[in-house]
């Protein structure tokens, strides 16, 4: 007999969201039985022998009662540090408390443990209104529940710590309205600010990254000209021992980034494309060093040979086979246990939040997608933020925390499992900007080159024409984008 999933909805007529979840579960070839919070007892009495798992969307915990009575595991969507099952009320509470992100967990309650374990979690951007926050969560969870149904072994759980599920009440409506007004005022203020990024280096052992005082020792490049910035730095040491920097040079006046090479303070544009270019990730392949700049508008990731004296790049580099049509953002590559691994986000799928991975036998491909793509959904630590490196025998993947602002900090993730079927990492350190520095409002790229650390950081600067430049940047980006560049394959 085929084992079924019992889906408990809030009312006898499922909402569009609940119906979409049912459809996604059914698409996994599982029989899905739907009942409401009012009729669950009658339904389970008639179908008890068929049901292997309960998914409870009622937000009132009736699934836990069923799990206790019939010894069936139940999964619930829970929110926040208090692990609240009343999802909508809890998201609204987090909204008025100005929580920097929305943390959603799929938790599983089993009778023998008398507590729940986290099957998976994601952290999403906190939106400016409670309705948008709730809508975003529902959009994200439609397929998520179905995708985790194969996780049955405790070894696959995100977190083995037992947790207690709680409930609460919704905040007063006046608090929701007041918080919305505060958020709107912040939006108006932010529209008048531009981000001024700059690049710096720190001489010393890479262990400085982990001791908390790294940002107090940065040797910054000279301040940028007005309405220009430098960011996304990478580098190497040439045969003369010079540090060669490669980074994005951005000018708000034309809304486009270019790749700049800097040797001993002398800047030279080597990558000026028809599209926006940034994040010139460096990787050695045999005797040749290659840069793989982000050109997500073009959606054709490519590698460009680079030296300290190489000429300006031509429009086409060496294409990465298998990634054509993917608007890849901040591609970062490492060689791990005999394979090349590429981490990146997608311009068309929340690039600050949702992490994807590909693997290949060669730098140039063909690249194959990770079986669990997207491998991570976390506004605090998904988007790549520099070169992966080895620390105390473990692979460290720098990532960006974009929960409070774009590029708030660099999060160092230690990769614990990485195969074509598995991925698991944990945060081991966070590098934050120095609060008294000129560039104290965020940082988002960190690279290690021998005994030198290359980093960037930003400050927010008021400019009366900032709203115009923001609008113009979006408009020019749309004009540069070629039709069909965002193939969702």
pLDDT at residue number 417: 93
**What is the pLDDT at residue 484?**
44
Identify the burial level of 294 via C-beta atoms within 10 angstroms of its C-beta, where 0-12 means exposed, 13-18 middle and 19 or more buried. buried
In tens digits, the chain (489 residues) has pLDDT values of 467 899 999 988 999 999 999 999 999 888 899 988 888 777 777 777 788 899 999 998 888 888 888 888 899 999 998 899 999 999 999 999 999 999 999 998 877 766 788 888 999 999 999 999 999 999 999 999 998 887 554 434 455 567 788 889 999 999 999 999 999 999 999 999 999 999 999 998 888 898 888 898 899 999 988 889 999 999 999 988 899 999 999 999 888 999 999 999 999 999 999 999 999 999 999 999 999 999 999 999 999 999 999 889 987 799 999 999 999 999 999 999 999 999 999 999 999 999 999 999 999 989 999 999 999 999 999 999 999 999 999 999 999 999 999 999 999 999 999 999 999 999 999 999 999 999 999 999 999 998 899 999 999 999 999 999 888 888 888 887 754 444 433
Asked whether the beta carbons of 470 and 193 are under 8 A apart, the reply is no
User: Contact, 231 vs 445, CB < 8 A?
Assistant: yes
Could you tell me which CATH class the domain 4-186 is placed in?
alpha beta
Torsion of CA 209, 211, 216, 219, to 10 degrees: -30
Q: In the chain, which residues fall in CATH 3.40.50.170?
A: 4-186
Of residues 349, 356, 346, 376, the one with CA closest to residue 144? 376
Is residue 366 helix, strand or coil?
coil
Rg of the Cα trace of the chain? Answer: 24
User: What pLDDT does residue 148 have?
Assistant: 86
The reported pLDDT for the residue numbered 151 is 59
How many Cβ atoms from other residues are within 10 Å of residue 307's Cβ?
Answer: 13
Q: What is the pLDDT of residue 156?
A: 42
Spell out the SS3 assignment of 105-135.
Answer: EEEEEECCCCEEEEEEEEEEECCCCHHHHHH
Where do the H-state alpha helices sit in 192-319?
none
pLDDT at 160: 52
Please, how many CA atoms are within 13 Å of residue 488, restricted to the half-sphere of its CB? 2
Q: Is the peptide bond prior to 366 cis by the omega test (within 30 degrees of 0)?
A: yes
- Alpha-carbon distance of 134 to 105, in angstroms, equals 14
Entry pTM? 0.91
Fold classification of 194-480 is: Tachylectin-2; Chain A (2.115.10)
Q: Report the pLDDT value the prediction gives residue 369, as an integer from 0 to 100.
A: 97
What's the pLDDT at 440? 95
Where do you find CATH 2.115.10 in the chain?
Answer: 194-480
d(CA 139, CA 344): 22
Three-class SS of residue 317? coil
Pair type for strands 354-360 and 328-336: unpaired
Which residues, 6 or more positions from 383, have their beta carbon under 8 angstroms from its beta carbon?
329, 330, 345, 351, 352, 353, 355, 399, 400, 402
pLDDT at residue number 2: 62
How is residue 48 annotated by DSSP? G
């Amino acid at each position: 007999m085929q084992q079924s999933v019992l889906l408990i909805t809030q009312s006898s007529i499922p909402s569009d969201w609940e119906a979409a979840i049912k459809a996604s579960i059914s698409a996994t070839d599982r029989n899905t039985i739907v009942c409401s919070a009012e009729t669950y007892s009658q339904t389970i009495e008639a179908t008890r022998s068929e049901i292997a798992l309960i998914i409870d969307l009622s937000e009132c915990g009736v699934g836990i009662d069923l799990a206790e009575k019939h010894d069936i595991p139940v999964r619930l969507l829970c929110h926040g540090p208090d692990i609240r099952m009343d999802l909508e009320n809890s998201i609204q509470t987090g909204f008025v408390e100005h929580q920097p992100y929305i943390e959603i967990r799929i938790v599983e309650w089993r009778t023998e443990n008398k507590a729940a374990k986290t099957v998976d979690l994601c952290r999403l951007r906190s939106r400016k209104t409670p309705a948008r926050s709730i809508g975003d969560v529902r959009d994200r969870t439609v397929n998520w529940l179905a995708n985790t149904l194969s996780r049955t072994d405790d070894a696959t759980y995100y977190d083995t710590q037992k947790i207690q599920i709680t409930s609460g009440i919704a905040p007063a409506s006046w608090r929701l309205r007041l918080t919305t007004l505060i958020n709107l005022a912040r939006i108006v203020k932010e529209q008048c600010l531009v981000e001024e990024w700059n690049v710096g280096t720190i001489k010393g052992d890479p262990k400085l990254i982990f001791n908390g005082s790294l940002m107090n020792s940065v040797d910054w490049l000279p301040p940028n000209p007005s309405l220009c910035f430098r960011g996304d730095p990478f580098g190497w040491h040439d045969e003369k021992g010079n540090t060669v920097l490669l980074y994005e040079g951005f000018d708000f006046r034309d809304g486009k980034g270019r790749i700049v090479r800097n040797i001993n303070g002398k800047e030279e544009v080597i990558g000026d494309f028809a599209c926006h270019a940034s994040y010139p990730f460096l990787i050695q392949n045999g005797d040749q060093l290659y840069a793989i700049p982000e050109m997500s508008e073009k959606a054709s990731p490519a590698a460009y040979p680079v030296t300290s004296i190489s000429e300006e790049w031509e429009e086409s580099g060496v294409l990465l086979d298998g990634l054509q049509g993917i608007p890849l953002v901040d591609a970062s590559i490492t060689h791990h246990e005999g394979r090349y691994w590429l981490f990146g986000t997608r311009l068309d799928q929340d690039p600050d939040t949702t992490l994807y991975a590909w693997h290949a036998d060669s730098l140039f491909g063909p690249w194959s997608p990770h079986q669990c793509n997207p491998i991570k959904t976390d506004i605090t630590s998904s988007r790549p933020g520099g070169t992966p490196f080895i620390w105390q025998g473990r692979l460290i993947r720098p990532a960006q925390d974009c929960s409070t602002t774009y590029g708030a900090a660099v999060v160092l993730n230690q990769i614990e499992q990485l195969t074509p079927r598995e991925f698991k990492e944990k945060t081991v350190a966070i590098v934050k900007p120095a609060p008294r520095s000129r560039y104290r409002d965020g940082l988002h790229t960190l690279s290690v080159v021998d005994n030198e650390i290359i980093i960037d950081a930003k400050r927010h600067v008021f400019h009366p024409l900032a709203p115009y430049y923001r609008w113009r940047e979006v408009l020019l980006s749309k004009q540069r984008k070629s039709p069909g560049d965002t193939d969702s394959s």
